[in-house]
Amino acid sequence: MCGIVGAVAERNISNILLEGLKRLEYRGYDSAGLTIIQDGELHRERQVGKVQELVNAVNKNPSFFDGRIGIAHTRWATHGEPAQCNAHPHVSGKVAVVHNGIVENYAPLKEEMIEKGYSFSSQTDTEVVAHLIADAYSQTNDLLKAVEQVTPRLHGAFALGIVHVDNPNVLITVRLGSPLVIGVGIGENFIASDQLALLPVTNRFMYLEEGDIALITRDSISVFADGQPVSRPIKELDAKQHNADKGEFKHYMLKEIYEQPDAVARTVEMGVDLKGFKPEFLSRHEDRLNEVRHVQILACGTSYHAGIVAKYWFESLTRLPCSVEIASEFRYRDPVVVDHTLMICISQSGETADTLSALRDIQRRSDAKDINGFLSLALCNVPTSSLVRETDIFLPTLAGVEIGVASTKAFTTQLAALMLLVLKIGRVQSRISDDTFSKMVTELNNLSGQLYSCLKLDQSIAEMSDKFEDKKSTLFLGRGIQFPIALEGALKLKEISYIHAEGYAAGELKHGPLALVDKDMPIVVLAPKDSMLDKLKANMQEVHARHGELFVFAGETTQIESDERQHVIHVPDVYELLAPIVYSVPVQLLSYHVAVMRGTDVDQPRNLAKSVTVE
Ligand code: F6R
C-alpha cells in the first residue's frame, strides 16, 4: 500500500527521501513522487513505475531537488489509475500533501471545492485534501490550525504528510487509521509509514496514536490529540532485529525462507524451554485465559491460513470450540460473538484494515456490554502496530522484519506462536494432560532442526519446479491439518508465479475439481505420515486414474515413491500436529523456484502490497 516519507533537516534531504521510498518498495506501489521546498518554491517530480524511475528523473537535475524539507510517496492506486497526474505529492498553491489510506467522502468535498473555484488535475481522493488545507490556510494563516480544521471533515482511514512553502521548517503529519511513525534525529526529524524507511538515519522512533496530529521541525516534535498537546514516548530499536539486507540471497523471499529455522526457534523459545513453559510466558493473562470458552480467529490471506491450522489444534488439543473467518467477511455479516470469546487477530503487519475494523466493531459491542468476558489478542510481527495497541494481549511472532510480499517466515512463526497459545490455554484450563504437554514441548524444541532438514531439499525442489514453468493452472491437495497448507501453497504459487492455483481438501476432489484433472494438470500433494495417509493415498489414485501428474511431498516412511506420472520428494518424518509448519517450507520453495523460472518480480509481485491498509 502507499508509503510516506518526509524529512526536515539542515542538510539536503532528497537522497534520504529516495532511499526511504526504496525501503518502502516492499509495500507494493505503482508510481512514486517527491516534493521539496527550495527557495520559496515547491519542486516536484513524479513517475509511474519503480522508485528507480523517480531517482533517474531527480538525478537529471539534482540541484533542483537540493532542499532541507520535503515529502515523498509511493502510490498504490485506489482512486484513479497509475498515472503521473495521480501520483503524489498533490499540490494546491503553496501546499503539498502525501497520503496513505482512503478519504471516503472525497466526492462531496470535491464538489464543494470545485464550487469554490479550485480545479482538479487528478482523479485521486488526495487532491481534495490539498485544496481543503490550502483553503483553510488562506483563512487561518497557520498550517497546524488549517490541518486541525480539515482533519475532522475527512472520513476514512488515512495518514498524511503536509508541507507549505511559507513554513519551510514545518512538517505536519496526521495519523488516523493508517500507519505513521516519526523518526527522531539530532537536529533533524522524519516521518514514514514504516520505521524501516528511516533506519539509515535514525533508530529512535515516536509512534503516534490514532487521531494524533504532529508539528515537526528540525529540533522539535509537538503532538496534539483533540487540539491538546500530548506526549508520546520515544523508543529505540534494536538494529539487528531489523536487518533489511538481502545478504548473499538473490531475493528477500529466499532469504526469509532460509531464516525460518532461527525465526521459529526464537518464537518457540519465547514460550518454552526443554522443561516446559517459561515462567513469564503470558503469565499476566492467565486469569483471563482461564475464562475463555470460545475462540474466534480473524485474519486475511496467509495469516488466515495460519488461523485454520490453529482451529485444528485448539479443537483437538483443548476441546474448546474455535471458529476462523476471513476478516473482510466477518466484519460485514453481523456475526454472533458468544460471551467469553477470545478473539485472536492474526496479522503479520498489524495494519491490515479489514482485520482492524473487524476487531474494532466487536470491541465496540463488548464496550456496550453486548458481549461479556470478551478478550482480544494480537498475534503480530510488529510490536508497534495498531493491532497490538488495540488488543488486550500481544503475542509476538519473532520473525524479524519480513520484506518479501509473499509471507514465509511470518507464517511459520505465526504457527509456532499459535501452538504455544493453544498449549497455554489448554494448561491453564487443565484441558491438556502432562504427557501430551511434555510431548508437545519436546516436539516444539525439535522443530527448528526439522526445518533445517527441509531446507536441504531446496535443490531437488528447484529441479522439480521445471515442470511447472509453462503450466496455466495447478491444484494443491492436503487432508486434515495439511489442508490449510494446501491453501497456503496455492496462494504462494499464484501470488508470485501468476500461475492459477487452488488449494483443496483432497476429500473434496470428487465433488468438483476432479473434472479439471488431465495429463497437463500438475497436482501438488502434501503427504506426511499421519492419520489421514490412507485416505490421501486413495485420493491420489483418483488422480492417477485420470492421468494427472502428481508432485508429492511425502513423509520418508509413507512408501510413496516416484514413477512415470508421480514425482516424489521425501520430507523427514515429523510429529503429525507440527507437520503443517514443516510442510510449509517445501511449498514455499516450490513457488519461489517456479516464480524465478518464469521471471516474475518475486519480492514485489504485481498488484500486491505487503501491508494492506485499505479495505
Ligand atoms: C500472502 C500474504 C498476504 C497476507 C495478508 C494479510 O503471502 O502475505 O496474504 O497474509 O495480506 O496480511 P497481514 O498478515 O499483514 O494481516
Q: CATH number, domain at 93?
A: 3.60.20.10
Secondary structure (3-state) at 209: coil
**Residues linked to residue 177 through DSSP beta bridges, in sequence order:** 158
DSSP 530: S
User: 347 CB less than 6 Å from ligand 1?
Assistant: yes
To the query of whether residue 610 is one of the catalytic residues in this protein, the response is yes
Global pTM reads 0.79
131 in the same domain as 43: yes
262 in the same domain as 200: no
390 in the same domain as 353: yes
Could you tell me the distance, in angstroms and rounded to a whole number, from the CA of residue 583 to the centre of ligand 1? Answer: 19
57 in the same domain as 26: yes
Cα atoms in the 13 Å half-sphere on the side-chain side of 592: 27
Ligand 1 atom closest to the Cα of residue 611 is 15
98 closest CA partner among 17, 156, 157, 34? 34
495 in the same domain as 403: no
User: 584 CB less than 6 Å from ligand 1?
Assistant: no
To the query of whether residue 2 is one of the catalytic residues in this protein, the response is yes
User: 386 CB less than 6 Å from ligand 1?
Assistant: no
Domain for residue 615, yes or no?
no
CA 508 – CA 577 distance, rounded (Å): 22
CA 160 – CA 47 distance, rounded (Å): 20
Query: Can you tell me which residue has the cell 496530529?
Result: 213
83 in the same domain as 133: yes
406, 438, 455 - which closes a domain: 455
Residues 475-502: tens digit of each pLDDT: 999 999 999 999 999 999 999 999 999 9
Tell me if 29 sits within 8 A of 74, measured CB to CB.
Answer: yes
DSSP 117: T
The closest residue, in CA terms, to atom 9 on ligand 1 is 301
Residues 270-323: tens digit of each pLDDT: 999 999 999 999 999 999 999 999 999 999 999 999 999 999 999 999 999 999
- Mean pLDDT of all residues in 48-70: 93
**pLDDT at residue number 244:** 66
Domain for residue 232, yes or no?
yes
376 in the same domain as 256: yes
Tell me if 475 sits within 8 A of 523, measured CB to CB.
Answer: yes
Summary mean pLDDT of the chain? 94
CA 409 – CA 246 distance, rounded (Å): 15
Range of the domain at 429: 251-455
105 in the same domain as 26: yes
Residues 546-599: tens digit of each pLDDT: 889 999 999 999 999 999 899 999 999 999 999 999 999 999 999 999 999 999
- Percent residues over pLDDT 90 in the chain: 83
Domain for residue 95, yes or no?
yes
User: 487 CB less than 6 Å from ligand 1?
Assistant: no
CA 213 – CA 477 distance, rounded (Å): 50
257 in the same domain as 230: no
461 in the same domain as 451: no
Domain for residue 465, yes or no?
yes
Query: Domain tally for the chain?
Result: 3
Strand residues in 425-548 grouped as ranges (E): 473-478, 500-505, 522-527
Cα atoms in the 13 Å half-sphere on the side-chain side of 548: 27
399, 431, 455 - which closes a domain: 455
The closest residue, in CA terms, to atom 13 on ligand 1 is 347
Does residue 604 carry a pLDDT above 90? Answer: no
